Amino acid sequence: MPSRSRAAGGLPSREQILAFIQQSDTPAGKREIAREFGLKGQERIALKHLLRDMAEEGLIDGKKTAFHQMGGLPKVTVLRVVDTDDGEALAIPDTWQPDSGAAPPRVRLIESKKLAALKVGDRVLARTEEAGTGWRAHPIKKLPNRTESVLGVIELDGAGKPWLAPVDKRVRNSSPISDLGGAEKGQLVLAEPAGRGPRAGVKVVEVLGDPLAPRSFSLIAIHKYGIPNVFSKEALAEAELAAKLPLSVEHREDLRALPIVAIDPADARDHDDAIWAEPDEADDNKGGFRAVVAIADVSFYVRPTRGAGGGDVDREARKRGNSVYFPDRVVPMLPHVLSSDVCSLKSGEDRAAMACHLKIDAKGRVTEWRFSRALVRIAEVIAYEDAQRRIDERVRTRSSRAKSRDAGAAPDPGVPTSLDTNGVEIGVLENLWAAWRALAAARTARDPLELELPERRVVLDEKGRIAEIAVRERLDAHRVVEDFMIAANVAAAKALESKASPVVYRVHEPPTREKLLALKEYFASLGKNLALGQVITPGLFNRMLKDIADEAEKALVMEAVLRSQTQAYYGPRNAGHFGLALGSYAHFTSPIRRYSDLLVHRALVDAFGFEQPAPQGRIPARSGLADQDKADLEKVTEAISQTERRAMEAERDTIDRYVAAWLSGRVGEVFPTRITGVQSFGFFATIVGIGGDGLVPVSTLGREYFRYDEGARALVGGDSGTRFAVGDTLPLRLAEANPLTGALKFAVPDAEGGQPVEPRGKRLEVKKGRGKHPQGQRGRPANIRHQGKKR
């Protein structure tokens, strides 16, 4: 007998069905509704029509296996964790396709001792219930994560059957498509497995458009690496409120009279650091300088999450971990109203800053420091190239005057006696350069690792097309800013240590013994010795490089040293910074684009009593470090280290795709290349002056057998003795260039006749390896040299 009475005509009423769906402890589908009301035969067919009518009327939503009230959730459903906050997890329905197009509800998962701590991406079966105006759920069990989504391009075979060609060069095989989801041939799509077995193929879940259109290469990386690129409505609303927080000089040191300047890339949209220096007239610091490094006070506007209410911007910032810089776009860590407006140190506008005051002695040593929350007004924002030009012009002017005086001639009327810079007085820049020369002397005495490795720069035209691929020029202006940033970073770490406060250290550990043994073996193949019984310091590597006269050999050794380095990371325990030869180091100077720096700012607020409560409202009151972050600093730093690595991989992959696109019209041409990696199956080479790593398979080297010498990182011909070793240069023909994957393939031009071409010496140019090298990590370990500025 049914447990509920039915309306006349045999069918339950709409109200009865809604009541059952709401009260059911199990998923309520058509079968369960029919069983509950004792429906059979034709009554079940009539129920199907009734449920369809209720769905069209907006009363219920869902599928025939599980209905729920429109705008609500099934009593039992699968949820996917999208955020974590103070030990609790927020989730959304794993499948959400309402007819209304409404956004999925966010559900707070109640902590369960049966389940381990949940993290973003986890899937759980949970029992849901309404809680006031929101939803909460009790997890029943954790479910296996779905296979990762696949990014690819739609292709059709000869029979017209659709296939997905992956854009990840690590995935070699195409997959059959069971559901196109409205996609067409040639479109870039996001797909997921259609079933459990490999024969099930994939189904398209999102169409992304033309894969070769401007801005598509960065879009591929964004989706491939799961980089958050859309801010929640709550975060945007909170950012707008935060931007209106009043600035008062009452609680800040007024530094608006100082001619502080920001030196940045010409196309930078956010300016988070600015500098000022002048000679110190104090008797105890003759020949020294006073300096200020002013950093955007992001912690005043972005406040940590503390329980319920507010903290939405902070959640989004932590999820991102850092801004990601592509040639065609920036995915910011903070909403634009903050990152490129009120937090950005713009010229001529009052801005909140965290100021690091430095006392630098004549030898460039920082002898004193203090921090303050300040109000600044940047005198000028100057591009690196412009700042360098002004200094160079000043030097030329003084040189011309000196020559005129020595010759007893009148000054050349064509040479100005004072420079009209249309900006700050030239003396402001001269003071900065003078203070930097002192800092540079201290840096030389410290002897950090000196690896000058050029980086590629993709230049786009106004339509987003590739105009040029060039090497980034490194000027003294870059070094000036970098050394001031390093000094401020060290001061921040030591200031927090002096207060026994939590520190987010930037750690770069010495090379591991395994890597040093591999490096020793490689050096032995070059006839050089690396004694491992001594203390390994950056200066040891510098001296080895200095003693090498041949520039080509120096390039080989420099790259080998680079590959021996560990990757830098963030952590709460100090292990020093090997590359910079520093005992204590933190990142303090870029809080607009790095969450690590924001944490350091918050720690400084707590340590030195800089708190400035926000007015009551949605914005959290306190701006210091959250108690939860202090307790979980290990987890927090591990998470932001991972997001940094994610950003590096995404940026590198995007550059690879741009380079491949640049070269795709030049397939068949012969280029000068340098070998960057060797393995038993072939060698990798990069085009000198352009970059991009491509494989030369050993099978294309002719009929001769080649032996792989792992210690020498070389392929050696068994008969001829021909060697292909890391660092060798030789002409190679570009055989393939795939913009979608970023993959290149080369061929030896003279190998068709069975005899490979002999590598022709070595060259000075040193490019970062962009291929996947078995000998070591790809590219440069993160921040061996402080990468203090935006690109």
What are 563-584's pLDDT values in tens digits?
899 999 999 999 999 999 999 9
Return the pLDDT at 650: 93
Alpha helix ranges (H) inside 608-730: 627-631, 633-663
pLDDT at 756 over 60: no
The answer for 644, left when phi > 0, alpha when psi is -120 to 50, beta otherwise, is alpha
DSSP per-residue letters across 736-762: EEETTTTEEEEE-GGGGGT-PPPP--B
The angle subtended at Cα 503 by Cα 302 and Cα 82, nearest 5°, is 50
E strands, 34-186, are 60-63, 66-69, 76-85, 88-93, 107-109, 123-131, 134-143, 150-156, 162-166, 175-179
**Which range is most confident: 45-54, 84-93, 357-366, 527-536?**
357-366
Return the pLDDT at 786: 43
Task: Give the pLDDT band of residue 100 (cuts 50, 70, 90).
Answer: very low
Rounded to two decimals, the pTM is: 0.76
CA distance 677 to 674: 9
Amino acid (one-letter) located at 744: L
What are 645-675's pLDDT values in tens digits?
999 999 999 999 999 999 999 999 999 998 9
Task: Give the pLDDT band of residue 415 (cuts 50, 70, 90).
Answer: very low
User: Of 47-61, 459-473, 748-762, where does mean pLDDT reach its minimum?
Assistant: 748-762
DSSP per-residue letters across 336-352: HHIIIIISS--BTSEEE
Mean pLDDT to the nearest integer, 688-711: 88
Q: Is 727 exposed, middle or buried (0-12, 13-18, 19+ CB in 10 A)?
A: buried
Q: Are 391 and 476 in contact (CB under 8 A)?
A: yes
Provide, rounded to the nearest whole percent, the portion of the chain with pLDDT above 90: 44
Picking from 168, 358, 185, the residue whose alpha carbon sits closest to that of residue 742 is 168
Q: How far apart are the first and last CA of the chain?
A: 73
Beta bridge partners of 154: 164
Return the pLDDT at 310: 57
Return the pLDDT at 479: 96
Beta bridge partners of 324: 331
- Both tokens of residue 505? 């250290």
Q: Are 162 and 154 in contact (CB under 8 A)?
A: yes
CA distance 207 to 192: 12
Q: Are 579 and 538 in contact (CB under 8 A)?
A: yes
pLDDT at 690 over 50: yes
What are 230-257's pLDDT values in tens digits?
898 889 999 999 999 989 888 899 999 9
Amino acid (one-letter) located at 160: G
Output b/e per residue, 345-377; b: 16+ Cβ within 10 A. bbbeeebbbbbbbbbbbeebbbeebebbbbbbb
Write down the mean pLDDT value for the chain: 83
Mean pLDDT to the nearest integer, 127-146: 77
